[in-house]
């Protein structure tokens, strides 16, 4: 089997970049990643983006970004799968390199929420749910997540503030990540006093929309430059699965089946058992998503996912460290760039370059990018084992 | 090298489907393709779509369509590269199957121009050009194509009505394709009298926006069902190239460099010379695009592309038959579905199922899907040779 490796990585700070445009933001990440790879020459660019056609009136991003980055001539396309666009772009890059048809692929995720030359953010985000059957009724992803959280709390007798641990962990880790949107730890009382957004979901139960770009250079192991300066990071598992687009079409809305299936397939490909995974970058768009993802992947049985946050199992020195660089909650949610950020962060951990946030002896990382309530789930497994 | 084959194909009529929604349209093509494959079970769906986030307020099409087609659980994502979205989705399907990671991939192109629940068509189409530097100035793709055509006519002393042959050929071929939007041949005087859209570009120099969906089932040769009913069609070349997004950034706007490079790479992969190609499905969004594509690929020297239409070299019994089922001009331009239609039509020719439009002894077909003025160019080569 071909060995696909991460040869280079780059990221911009996540936040509100009012003075930097979409293409400039992407370019910064692409430039960093190419430099970090020791100057490998990409033959293809797969862009993960979620909302630029609406927010920035800009489609055809593949060529726009290749052109702006001085890479005119290379293969270029955009991959979209709502919030999982970054994961889906990584998946396409992986397949291209694994096929042997592309030697060096760039995967770049970019999102610019502060553009808004088109319709507003809420309206744009609604295009990722079922437009004819959900959006038209006025149910937003956040309102839906609140209903899901309420049902979960009822079903499993979760106490008030039972989800606090997700935000506490994310912010504790964001404090050590200079690219994170929020670099400040929060206290339990901050969570407890937070403004209610959609009962029972408060301001700390959801990730902030943000601008950002991240990029990866993928290649096959044998094409790595000799004397490369970066520790080896291989992609040993890759899988995408889907569920119904609308939550109301599922038998059990509290079961993220696509998250389970895609993680299972990726682990099978890698030949791994769950207890070999040293860190998990989940898609904590909402704290309830984090809880359900932990259960879907198998780190907790049904109804117990929230306890892993409550008892600090997901902390850096816990049983299964999660959101190790802040996750969506504290690093921020730069839309279609998010899945690429996850890969960049996991690779930094596996290289041993995570500084204060370093997970000791980290060898295997699982990252999972979700679109909607796990309507799309893209899972990748990375390792530093030779 | 892995042999990727087209195991099944399907298409809907191209036209104004006021009473059929985006998902229903895609489903019709997907269902036909799966049936035509003898019931192969797809593991992945790559959707080629250009404008649904704007025209239909609907992103996240991969899951939407997989879900609606009863394929919940499979891998799904959307691939976008403006007018080349269909070609780019085919390219992704090809890479996925070639990689060995996906055994059976569905490639579905779909576009619904008549939806327009979002902004108007002109505004939506403008998102595929450079929003900050072209769209904002009010230059539309059609106005730009007219300028390009004017320059070409001046540069190469093309007589009035010199481009007529492109429309005449397309409509002559559309007459034999029951899926085409226009199934009626036109006369030279019809072209000569046509309404001017943007001087010198008249109504017959541009393809009509249309609704439509087309689908392919791809697999590896060894996975074809025994006793399959369809003649073998293999994909033996696949390549994407890009140019500057904006025409004004090119040294020579009359040279479609990406079209040249992607066709050249695909031919190199297939080990073919130009004179071995029996038919060419070009991206005749505008007649000037057709002329420039013929030159870029090498069927004519610079400035002579229009002559291949004028002297009927591109007719069904000509030297290099083009637009054999009507092309974009007569079959119609269903946005991101277009590149998939080209593959469906070329495969029908290579199977010998093209009826009145059959190209005799067709063995090798080149198809090329363009985004913008060849800002993206995706080329594939298909063959029926065993």
Distance of residue A200 Cα from the nearest chain B Cα, in angstroms: 27
Q: Are A102 and A9 in contact (CB under 8 A)?
A: no
Does any CB of chain B come closer than 8 Å to the CB of residue A316?
no
Distance of residue A236 Cα from the nearest chain B Cα, in angstroms: 12
Distance of residue A54 Cα from the nearest chain B Cα, in angstroms: 6
Query: Tokens 């408060």 map to which residue?
Result: A202
Strands A44-48 and A104-111, by their bridges, are parallel
Residue B31's H or E segment, with its range, is helix B22-36
Average pLDDT of chain B to the nearest whole number: 96
* Per-residue tokens: B254: 């009359």
CA dist B15 and B182 (Å) reads 9
Could you give the residue ranges of the DSSP H alpha helices within chain A? 22-36, 52-55, 61-68, 85-98, 121-126, 141-155, 164-174, 188-192, 257-270, 287-297, 305-310, 327-331, 338-351
Closest CA to B320 of B287, B281, B374: B281
* Per-residue tokens: B281: 């499905």
User: For each of chain A's 386 residues, which pLDDT tens digit applies?
Assistant: 689 999 999 999 999 999 999 999 999 999 999 999 999 999 999 999 999 999 999 999 999 999 999 999 999 999 999 999 999 999 999 999 999 999 999 999 999 999 766 668 988 999 999 988 998 888 999 999 999 999 999 999 999 999 999 999 999 999 999 999 999 999 999 999 999 999 999 999 999 999 999 999 999 999 998 878 899 999 999 999 999 999 999 999 999 999 999 999 999 999 999 999 999 999 999 999 999 999 999 999 999 999 999 999 999 999 999 999 999 999 999 999 999 999 999 999 999 999 999 999 999 999 999 999 999 999 999 999 98
Preceding omega of B299 cis (within 30 degrees of 0): no
Scanning B188-227 for CB atoms below 8 A from A yields none
Could you give the residue ranges of the DSSP H alpha helices within B185-301? 188-193, 257-270, 287-297
CA dist A46 and A86 (Å) reads 9
* Per-residue tokens: B171: 């409509």
Residues of B in contact with A64 (CB under 8 A): 130, 245
Give the nearest partner residue to B63 out of A58, A239, A242, using CB atoms. A242
Give the nearest partner residue to A62 out of B101, B135, B242, using CB atoms. B242
CA dist A153 and B41 (Å) reads 39
SS3 B212: strand
Residue B87's H or E segment, with its range, is helix B85-98
Does any CB of chain B come closer than 8 Å to the CB of residue A242?
yes
CA dist B177 and B196 (Å) reads 27
B75/A241 Cβ within 8 A:
yes
Residues of B in contact with A67 (CB under 8 A): 242-246, 249, 375
Does any CB of chain A come closer than 8 Å to the CB of residue B137?
no
B173-201 pLDDT, tens digit per residue, is: 999 999 999 999 999 999 999 999 999 99
Question: A225 φ, ψ to 5°?
Answer: -65, 140
Cα of B171 vs its chain's centroid, Å: 16
pTM for this prediction: 0.98
Residues of B in contact with A240 (CB under 8 A): 44, 75-77
- The Cα angle at residue A251 between residues A273 and A124, in degrees rounded to 5: 90
Q: Are A47 and A22 in contact (CB under 8 A)?
A: no
A91/B92 Cβ within 8 A:
no
- The Cα angle at residue B82 between residues B266 and A218, in degrees rounded to 5: 60
pLDDT of residue B191: 98
Burial of residue A14, with CB atoms counted within 10 A of its CB: 0-12 exposed, 13-18 middle, 19 or more buried: buried
SS3 A30: helix
CB atoms under 10 Å from CB of B39, counted, come to: 10
* Per-residue tokens: B350: 């290579």
pLDDT of residue B120: 86
B102/A73 Cβ within 8 A:
no
Residue B145's H or E segment, with its range, is helix B141-155
Residues of chain B with pLDDT under 70: 1, 116-119
Helices and strands in chain B, H and E counts:
13, 11
Does any CB of chain A come closer than 8 Å to the CB of residue B114?
no
CA dist B84 and B370 (Å) reads 5
Query: Tokens 């499993």 map to which residue?
Result: A156
Does any CB of chain B come closer than 8 Å to the CB of residue A51?
yes
pLDDT of residue B1: 61
pLDDT of residue A118: 63
Residue A239's alpha-carbon distances to A108, A127, A236, B177, in angstroms, are: 19, 24, 10, 39
> Rounded to a whole number, what is the distance in angstroms from the first to the last CA of chain B?
15
Does any CB of chain B come closer than 8 Å to the CB of residue A69?
no
Residue B47's H or E segment, with its range, is strand B44-48
Q: Are B126 and A57 in contact (CB under 8 A)?
A: yes
CA dist B99 and A115 (Å) reads 37
Residue B236's H or E segment, with its range, is strand B234-242
Q: B51 CB contacts (<8 Å, ≥6 apart)?
A: A53, A59, B111, B113, B124, B125, B127, B128, B335, B336
Does any CB of chain B come closer than 8 Å to the CB of residue A62?
yes
Question: B193 φ, ψ to 5°?
Answer: -95, 0
- The Cα angle at residue B307 between residues B257 and B150, in degrees rounded to 5: 65
SS3 A77: strand
Distance of residue B168 Cα from the nearest chain A Cα, in angstroms: 31
Does any CB of chain B come closer than 8 Å to the CB of residue A116?
no
Q: Are B4 and B220 in contact (CB under 8 A)?
A: yes
Closest CA to A67 of B331, B205, B132, B227: B132
Closest CA to A81 of B245, B286, B49: B49
Q: A17 CB contacts (<8 Å, ≥6 apart)?
A: A25, A112, A114, A211, A212
Residues of A in contact with B261 (CB under 8 A): 73
Query: Tokens 């996240």 map to which residue?
Result: B60
Give the nearest partner residue to B243 out of A54, A72, A257, using CB atoms. A72
Strands A196-198 and A201-202, by their bridges, are antiparallel
Give the nearest partner residue to A81 out of B78, B88, B91, using CB atoms. B78
Distance of residue B36 Cα from the nearest chain A Cα, in angstroms: 24
Residue A325's alpha-carbon distances to A263, A349, B230, in angstroms, are: 21, 9, 53
Q: Are B164 and B192 in contact (CB under 8 A)?
A: yes
Best to test chain A binding among B3, B60, B220, B265 (most A CBs inside 10 Å): B60
pLDDT of residue B185: 98
CA dist B6 and B280 (Å) reads 18
Burial of residue A251, with CB atoms counted within 10 A of its CB: 0-12 exposed, 13-18 middle, 19 or more buried: exposed
pLDDT of residue B157: 97
Distance of residue B329 Cα from the nearest chain A Cα, in angstroms: 22
Closest CA to B182 of B340, B30, B323: B323
Distance of residue B40 Cα from the nearest chain A Cα, in angstroms: 18
Distance of residue A109 Cα from the nearest chain B Cα, in angstroms: 14
Does any CB of chain A come closer than 8 Å to the CB of residue B80?
yes
Q: Counting one residue from A and one from B, how many pairs have CB atoms under 8 Å apart?
A: 220
Residues of B in contact with A91 (CB under 8 A): 75, 77
* Per-residue tokens: B287: 């007649």
Q: Which is it for the CA torsion A329, A330, A335, A338, positive or negative?
A: negative
A161-170 CB burial, b ≥16 within 10 A, e <16: bbbbbbbbbb
Does any CB of chain A come closer than 8 Å to the CB of residue B296?
no
Question: B8 φ, ψ to 5°?
Answer: -155, 155
Query: Tokens 């020579």 map to which residue?
Result: B252
Query: Tokens 């002579």 map to which residue?
Result: B304
Does any CB of chain B come closer than 8 Å to the CB of residue A95?
yes
pLDDT of residue A1: 61
Preceding omega of A200 cis (within 30 degrees of 0): yes
A243/B76 Cβ within 8 A:
no
Distance of residue B160 Cα from the nearest chain A Cα, in angstroms: 34
Does any CB of chain A come closer than 8 Å to the CB of residue B134?
no
Give the nearest partner residue to B73 out of A2, A241, A245, using CB atoms. A241
Closest CA to B102 of B222, B9, B1, B220: B220
SS3 content of chain B, % helix, strand, coil (to 5): 40, 20, 40
* Per-residue tokens: B105: 């991939």
B131/A375 Cβ within 8 A:
no
A128/B75 Cβ within 8 A:
no
């Amino acid at each position: 089997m071909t060995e696909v490796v991460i040869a280079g990585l780059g990221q911009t700070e996540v936040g509100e970049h009012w003075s930097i445009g979409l293409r400039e933001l992407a370019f910064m990440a692409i430039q960093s990643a190419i430099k970090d790879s020791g100057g490998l020459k990409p033959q293809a660019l797969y862009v993960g983006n979620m909302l630029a056609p609406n927010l920035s009136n800009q489609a055809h991003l593949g060529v726009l970004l290749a052109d702006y980055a001085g890479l005119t001539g290379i293969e270029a396309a955009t991959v979209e799968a709502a919030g999982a666009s970054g994961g889906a772009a990584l998946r396409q890059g992986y397949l291209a390199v694994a096929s042997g048809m592309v030697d060096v692929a760039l995967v770049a995720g970019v999102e610019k929420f502060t553009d808004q030359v088109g319709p507003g953010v809420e309206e744009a985000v609604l295009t990722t749910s079922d437009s004819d059957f959900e959006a038209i009724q006025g149910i937003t992803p956040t309102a839906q997540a609140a209903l899901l959280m309420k049902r979960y709390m009822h079903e499993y007798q979760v106490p008030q503030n039972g989800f606090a641990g997700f935000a506490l962990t994310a912010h504790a880790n964001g404090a050590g990540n200079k690219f994170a949107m929020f670099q400040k730890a929060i206290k339990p009382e901050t969570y407890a006093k937070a403004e209610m957004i959609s009962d029972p979901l408060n301001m700390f139960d959801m990730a902030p929309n943000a601008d950002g770009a991240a990029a990866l250079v993928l290649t096959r192991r044998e094409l790595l430059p000799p004397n490369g300066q970066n520790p080896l990071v291989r992609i040993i598992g890759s899988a995408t699965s889907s569920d119904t687009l609308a939550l109301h079409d599922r038998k059990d809305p509290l079961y993220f089946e696509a998250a389970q299936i895609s993680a299972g397939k990726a682990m099978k490909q890698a030949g791994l058992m769950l207890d070999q995974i040293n860190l998990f970058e989940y898609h904590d768009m909402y704290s309830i998503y984090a809880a359900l993802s932990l259960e879907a992947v198998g780190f907790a049985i049904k109804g117990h996912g929230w306890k892993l946050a409550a008892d600090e199992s997901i902390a850096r020195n816990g049983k299964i460290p999660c959101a190790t660089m802040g996750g969506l909650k504290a690093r921020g949610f730069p839309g279609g760039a998010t899945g690429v950020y996850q890969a960049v962060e996991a690779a930094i951990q596996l290289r041993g370059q995570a500084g204060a946030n370093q997970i000791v002896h980290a060898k295997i990382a699982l990252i999972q990018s979700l679109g909607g309530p796990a309507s799309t789930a893209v899972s990748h497994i990375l390792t530093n084992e030779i």
